[in-house]
Each structure stands twice: as C-alpha cells, then as structure tokens.
Amino acid sequence: MKKIYLLSLLMALVVGLSVYFFADSLQRQALEKNQIVKGNVVLATRFIPANTEITPDMLYLADWPVEAINQLAARKLDEVVGAITQLPIEANEQVFTTRVQKRGEAAEGRLSYVLEPGFRAITVAVDEISGVAGNITKGDYVDLVVTMRNAEFEEDNDVSFLIVENLLVLATGKKTVTSTESTTPQDYFSVTLSATAEDAIKINYASRSGIRLILRPVLDETITGETWYPTVFPESTTAPAAG
C-alpha cells in the first residue's frame, strides 16, 4: 500500500514540475514577444536649412524602437557629419542619408557637389581633333594648349603655349552614338574641367584662339610649367615671354 502512495506522490510531483515548466515557458515567450527591440538613430537637434553643411552640434543619437526607425535614416553620426543638406530637416527629425550629400559625390547631376573648395567648373568646346578623337572620359586628366600670337615679342608669329596642366575632367558633353554595338570612342562636343579661378580666366581668354586638349597618362601628375614653341624665331635669338 505504501508503494502505491509513494508512486502516486512521485507521479504528482512529475506532473507538477511539468506544469510549472510549461507555464514558465509560456510566460517567457509572452515576455519576449512583448519586448521592444531598440536601436540608434541620428536626429536633428534643430531645424537645418537646405544647402547647409552638417556639423556635429546639429545632430544627436537617440535610442528608438527599431520598428520606428526608417530604413533610410542614418544610424551613426559619421554617416552624415560633413555632408550638405539637399532638403530642409526639421528639429528632432530622422536624418535620411538620401537627403544629404558629401563633397566629391555627384548629387543627382549637381556638379557643384563634385567640385573641391577653391575650384570652378568651366566648359570648353572641342571637336574630333582638339578633343583627342573622343578618347577623353570623366575622371581623366588633361593639359591645355593654345596657339596664338605673342604681341609682346613679335606680332607676325604665332606661338603654341601649354597654358594649364593636369586638370580633372568632370564631364564630357553629349555624345553622338552611331551604333549600340560599337566599341569605338564616341563623339562629344564639349568637355567640362575643374580649374582654379585663375586658370579658368586663362582658359576663357585662350578659348578665343581655340584650345586643344592633351590627354595625360593615368597617375601621371608631372607639372612641366608654362612652355611654348617655337622658343626661338628665325629672325631672333630670344625666346618670347610666356603668357
């Protein structure tokens, strides 16, 4: 009889423990289901107008529920610090990476974001000869040559000047595509260059006489300085003054 009681007690204990662990498991699942997962998001400390460079004091990190964070929002400060706003950002609004653009990156065709501080974009007209037969591409570097008279030395003689060197090509003009299967260089009629304000003035002045672009080898940053040809005319032994 005692064995029956002992067995009953043991079974009751096992059933009790099973019920306890089952209830505990259900409780844990309910807590995990109701638990709010949070993450960092970058917010604006104040209203930031469009075309404004973002500084650290304009931002702060907040701990928000992940479900409330937009997929386009910045999650780290360094993602947007130093960038320029393309659209206004309200105070305490999530900062979207699609609404800011860092320097050096083309922003929806806006060339002004690509230009480095102190540089200007200037476009020169070219043809097949002066444009290196369509072989110039965005990202290349070129030198500029112009042939014109040097009135300070002798009015009747033209001189070819290497006026500017190592200019970055920002873009080429519209290309004429004759065949979609063609692998040959395409024609364009203008090239846009990045130049200092001083060099831009030189280029603008020289454009009246016609400018020829010279394509530089990749990674070649050699600067030879202003040079000209011919250096000596038949009637003289003195070289003309550059510029």
Phi/psi class of residue 92: alpha, beta or left (left: φ > 0; alpha: ψ in -120 to 50)? Answer: left
pLDDT beyond 80 at 160: yes
Extents of the domains making up the chain: 38-101, 117-229
68-120: per-residue pLDDT in tens? Answer: 889 999 999 999 998 888 889 999 999 998 888 887 665 556 788 788 889 99
* Helix, strand, coil percent values for the chain (each to nearest 5): 25, 30, 45
pLDDT beyond 50 at 243: no
Distance CA 86, CA 43 (A): 16
Average pLDDT, the chain: 79
Domain 38-101 fold:
Type Iii Antifreeze Protein Isoform Hplc 12 (3.90.1210)
Position 99 scores a pLDDT of: 87
Count helices and strands (H / E) in the chain: 2, 12
Range of 50-54, 223-227, 231-235, 236-240 with top mean pLDDT: 50-54
Distance CA 11, CA 23 (A): 18
Give the pLDDT mean for 49-67: 90
pLDDT beyond 60 at 45: yes
Residues 6+ apart with CB under 8 A from 60: 42, 43, 45
Distance CA 178, CA 188 (A): 12
